[in-house]
Structure formats: C-alpha cells, structure tokens
C-alpha cells in the first residue's frame, strides 16, 4: 500500500490517503463494519474504488491531529497523558478482538498514529487483504518511542520513571509483543484495568474528569472518593484577576498552564504568556509553581522565578504570569 498526506480538494482538510497495490484487495465486510460504527480509538475513513473494482483508495481525516512521533518530541508529557497513550494500545487491541479484526490491519508506526490536543491517540485501520507483513508494524514499535525517556520531556519524575519501566518491558519482549504481558504491565505499573459494568455497593466513587470508555474496554482509574454527605470534595480554582475568568484545578495533580492548546489550563487573549508557561500543583492549602522557561517570566512576591525552580505560595496569594496577575482559591 502507498501512504501520503494531502488536502481534500473540497474541504481543504488534511488527509492521510492510502492506496492499495495491485495484489491488495479491499475487505468489504470489515470496511462496512468500520464505516457503520464509530470507535473512539479509530480514525474514520471513506473509500473510493478503482474503475476495475480491484483496488481501493482510503481517505482518513487527520485535520487538527499530529503524529505520535511528533507529539512526544515536541510536547511536555504529564502522567495522565502518558498513561492515556499507553492505555490506548490495549483499547485498540480490545476493539479488534471484539470485532474480529486482525491486528495486522492496524498501523502502529508512530508516524501514522495520530494524537489530539487531549493526548488521546487515534489509530488507522487499513481493511485491505493480502497486505505484506511488516516487522515494524507492531505495538512494540509504538512503545519503543514512548520508552525513549532520554528524548522526551516530562512534567514530573513520575511519568519519566514510568517510561523507564516501559523501556525494560520492551527489552524483555525480545521483539515479540505479548498482549497478556502488556495487560499485566498496565495494571501493575499504570493502575489501568478492565472496566466494570457496575461499581461495587460498598464503594462510592465518582469520575474525576477522565472520559471513561464503553463497557469491556480499558480505562484510566482516575477516581475521587465522596465525602460523608455524598458530595464531590471541592478542589481549587485558578482565577484571572483582571477579568475574573476562572479555571478548575484538580487537587494534588500537576497541571500545565499557558497559551498552548495542549495545556490542561489554556489561557487565551494574552500574547505575553508562553505556550507552556508554568506547572501548578495544589495540595494542603499551598500552590506549587514551576516556571517552564517562559519568555516573560513568572513573578512571586515581586521576584522572578528561575526556570524549573519550584516555589510555594499560599492559596489566596497573588502571583503573576508575564504581565498578568492570577490567584488560586478554593473551589
């Protein structure tokens, strides 16, 4: 098959176009299944047949997405995003197993795995028969990129340590991917397991914001306990002093703040802020601030922070990002 990126002539959106070779034929049954159903982890496509009916051209809309290969090289990865990417490998394997789709049809090459602004991967399935076997088209190809911690940037030591454990896992596979071994790795190292059809009666939990998947697929176990009155505990809020705009901040989790759309908190309308300006972590009535080498600085009590330097401020104490003041308050 031939792969190329182009623009749709009608919509002018960016597309990945895959064209079958002479000995490859379209698996019409699986193509119809994929066209009729929407799978969150897969990219949708539309197909056009050749004049003789033997070949096919598949069009995948990748507008607004970037390849995983570029994403991990350019973005600072937090723990939630990193685990979300790892869990997506199991998601696509489960989707293929549930719908009897050969995993060989999935492109695991990081150049053709696409990621949105929430670090949610989308996989390309090519429903062609007689495709040649490719050594690099294995989940291990994708996992190797995520295990090269020396080439990646992380928001904290936690995802960096996870990347190093992933490197050991990949080396122990000896170039043969084991789905069962990877499932154990996700459960033991990442806290990712099989989703349940119901929550046990003696456990009261509420979803803390990570979008869960359909029953039977893996999901991130990001949960927060209810208080005694059955209410969700209040977290923290980042407030823009000049206009009162507010942004929710999770308790005891590190989040990125800046102009860039890949931050957990995106501040728009101020070009003085950097794309990735600071990291914030709120816990025990204190706010930990780490400047990420911003161009116009982060200011606490009248002094500019050094890049990658950690400073604590009290909840309710003002600080400045570039030329604009912010304050963290209780939710």
Digit-coded pLDDT (tens) for 247-285? 998 887 888 899 988 788 899 999 999 999 999 988 888
Structure tokens at 261: 């759309």
Nearest to 253 by CA among 231, 280, 226, 275: 280
pLDDT tens, residue by residue, 275-304: 999 999 888 888 999 998 899 999 999 999
pLDDT tens, residue by residue, 214-227: 333 333 333 333 33
Q: If one looks up domain 236-330 in CATH, what number appears?
A: 2.60.200.20
- pLDDT for position 135: 60
Rounded CA-CA distance 121/150 in Å is 22
Please state the φ and ψ torsions of residue 66, each to the nearest 5 degrees: -125, 155
The answer to whether the beta carbons of residues 232 and 204 sit under 8 Å apart is no
Residues linked to residue 192 through DSSP beta bridges, in sequence order: 220
Which of these ranges, 147-161, 167-181, 196-210, 310-324, has the smallest mean pLDDT? 196-210
Average pLDDT, integer, range 163-189: 87
- pLDDT for position 193: 64
Rounded CA-CA distance 225/232 in Å is 8
pLDDT tens, residue by residue, 10-56: 888 899 999 988 788 888 888 888 877 778 889 888 888 876 666 78
Integer CA distances (angstroms), 144 to 165, 278, 325, in order = 11, 29, 42
pTM for the full model?
A: 0.57
The answer to whether the beta carbons of residues 17 and 58 sit under 8 Å apart is yes
- pLDDT for position 134: 65
């Amino acid at each position: 098959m031939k792969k190329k990126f182009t623009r749709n002539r009608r919509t002018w959106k960016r597309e990945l176009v895959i064209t079958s070779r002479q000995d490859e034929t379209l698996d019409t049954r699986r193509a119809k299944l994929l066209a009729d159903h929407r799978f969150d982890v897969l990219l949708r496509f539309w197909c056009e047949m050749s004049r003789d009916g033997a070949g096919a051209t598949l069009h995948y809309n990748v507008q607004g997405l970037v390849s995983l290969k570029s994403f991990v090289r350019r973005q600072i990865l937090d723990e939630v995003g990193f685990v979300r990417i790892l869990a997506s490998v199991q998601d696509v394997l489960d989707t293929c197993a549930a719908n009897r789709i050969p995993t060989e049809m999935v492109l695991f090459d990081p150049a053709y795995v696409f990621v949105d602004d929430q670090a949610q991967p989308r996989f390309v399935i090519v429903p062609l028969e007689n495709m040649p076997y490719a050594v690099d088209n294995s989940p291990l190809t994708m996992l190797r990129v995520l295990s090269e911690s020396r080439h990646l940037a992380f928001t904290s030591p936690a995802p960096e340590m996870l990347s190093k454990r992933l490197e050991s896992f990949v080396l122990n596979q000896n170039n043969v991917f084991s789905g069962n071994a990877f499932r154990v790795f996700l459960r033991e190292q990442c806290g990712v397991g099989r989703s349940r059809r119901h929550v046990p009666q003696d456990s009261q939990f509420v979803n803390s914001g990570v979008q869960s998947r359909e029953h039977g697929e893996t999901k991130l176990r990001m949960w927060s306990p209810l208080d005694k009155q059955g209410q969700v505990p209040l977290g923290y809020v980042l407030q823009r002093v000049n206009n009162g705009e507010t942004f929710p901040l999770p308790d005891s989790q590190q989040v990125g703040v800046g102009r860039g759309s890949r931050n957990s908190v995106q501040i728009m309308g101020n070009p003085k802020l950097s794309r990735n300006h600071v990291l914030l972590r709120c816990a025990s009535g204190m706010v930990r601030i780490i400047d990420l080498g911003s161009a116009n600085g982060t200011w606490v009590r009248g002094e500019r922070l050094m890049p990658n330097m950690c400073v604590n401020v009290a909840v309710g104490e003002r600080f400045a990002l570039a030329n604009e003041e912010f304050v963290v308050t209780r939710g």
